[in-house]
Structure 1
Amino acid sequence: MLFPSLKLHQDHVSDRWQWQSDLADGYTVRGAYLFLTTRDAVTLDVASGLIWHRQVPLKVSIFAWRLLRDRLPTKANLVTRGILSEAAHHCVSGCGGVESAHHLFLSCSTFGALWSLVSSWIGSSLVTAQTLSDHFVQFTGSAGGLRAQRSFMQLIWLAVVWVVVESDE
């Protein structure tokens, strides 16, 4: 489970809400803080399982697979491999940041800002994650538990990252 939840619990007693993260003590601010600060990052396998979608062109899924593994020819990766000089690592958007996959797709003031617009457009909460894998999994799950809703969110996330890469060419 990615996030703790409050769940309706029925044991032949009145219905009640129960904090799933700590069944013994229930919800506490300390418990919520510990959950948020000690949680393991989403494994790459979980995120990778979401990129292969039958309604997504194969080239988009392959791109997303490479993106989640930091295997795109970003300027930071090209500098690391000695293909570009250290001075040539600035973001293509002109924002002044180092062009890495994380920067381009999450923190860039130009391209990363798309997520707040997309979230507003579809009426979902803004996802703020530290890694691309976390962002993908959290964004996909932000619509709720129904399979059709998760599938829709997968398509939206993949379309947004594809638009960013296509706008760069």
Structure 2
Amino acid sequence: MFMHGWGVGGEAWVWRRQLRAWEEEMLGECQALLFTLSLQDHVSDRWQWQADLDDGYTIRGTYQILTTQDAVTLDVASGLIWRLLRDRLPTKANLITRGILSEAAHHCVSGCGGVESAQHLFLSCSTFGALWSLVSSWNGSSLVTAQTLSGHFIQFTGSAGGLRARRSFMQLI
């Protein structure tokens, strides 16, 4: 992408067809993330924890980031939840439907053999769906038994009780 023109209006951002509105939103998010990157020739790519360059990744540093963020984090989370509940995430099933991936690429990234859809990833996947029982035990909530994404979301956030801050925390999870 860098060679094709990384900047706004560069050839790296030219598409074969007109983007849909939700795709344009995702493209804007992607561009916002990528424009902060500094690419350099002859330097290997690497992951770096930006929050604390001296100590690297720590649980304490992560906790501080999560608890000191402004309401923007909840707005971003709301957008992701909206996309999840309306099946707008770029799962393999959605990418196949849009002609981006071939039919043969439908298997879940976990290797479980299922078709990678939002429903599968978040609820029925033996690898990722099984994490909900661990999350429930970690935060002391009751186990959610709903079989739909919207039902799961409502039951999970409702398991927090009446405290608004706790419901917001559950939504963020």
**TM-score normalized by the length of structure 2:** 0.54
Tell me which of 67, 83, 86 is aligned to 2:100. 83
Higher relative contact order (CA 8 A, sep 6+): 1
Aligned 1:16-35 pairs, distance under 5 A: none
Q: What is the identity, as a one-letter code, of the residue corresponding to 2:143?
A: L
Q: Name 1:154's counterpart in structure 2.
A: 171
2:154 corresponds in structure 1 to: 137
Deviation at 1:114, TM superposition (A): 1.2
Q: 2: distance between equivalents of 1:57 and 1:151? A: 8
Q: How does 1:36-47 map to 2 (within 5 A)?
A: none
Distance 1:81 1:148 in 2: 38
- Does residue 65 (structure 1) correspond to residue 79 (structure 2)? The answer is no
Taking only aligned residues, the RMSD between alpha carbons, in angstroms, comes to 2.0
Q: 2:141 aligns with which of 113, 124, 135?
A: 124
**Unaligned segments of structure 1, at least 5 residues:** 1-52, 158-169
Residue 73 of structure 2 aligns to a residue in which SS?
Answer: coil
1:111 aligns with 2:111: no
- Matched to 1:154, the amino acid is Q
Sort the Cα spacing of 1:122 and 1:115 in 2 relative to 1 into closer, same or farther, 3 A.
same
The Cα shift of 1:57 comes to 5.0
SS at match of 2:152: helix
Superposed CA deviations along residues 71-117 of structure 1, whole A, max 9, x for unmatched, are 11111111122222211100011111000011111111111111100
1:131 is displaced (CA, Å) by 1.5
Query: Percent identity between the aligned chains?
Result: 83
Residue 145 of structure 1: how far off its partner (Å)? 2.1
Q: Please give the alpha-carbon distance, in whole angstroms, between the structure 2 residues aligned to 1:61 and 1:147.
A: 15
Residues in 2 aligned to 1:66 and 1:75: alpha-carbon distance in whole angstroms: 15
- If each structure's strand is expressed as a fraction of its own residues, which one has the higher value? 1
Spell out structure 1 runs of 4+ moving beyond 3 A.
57-60
Structure 2 counterpart of 1:86, one-letter code: E
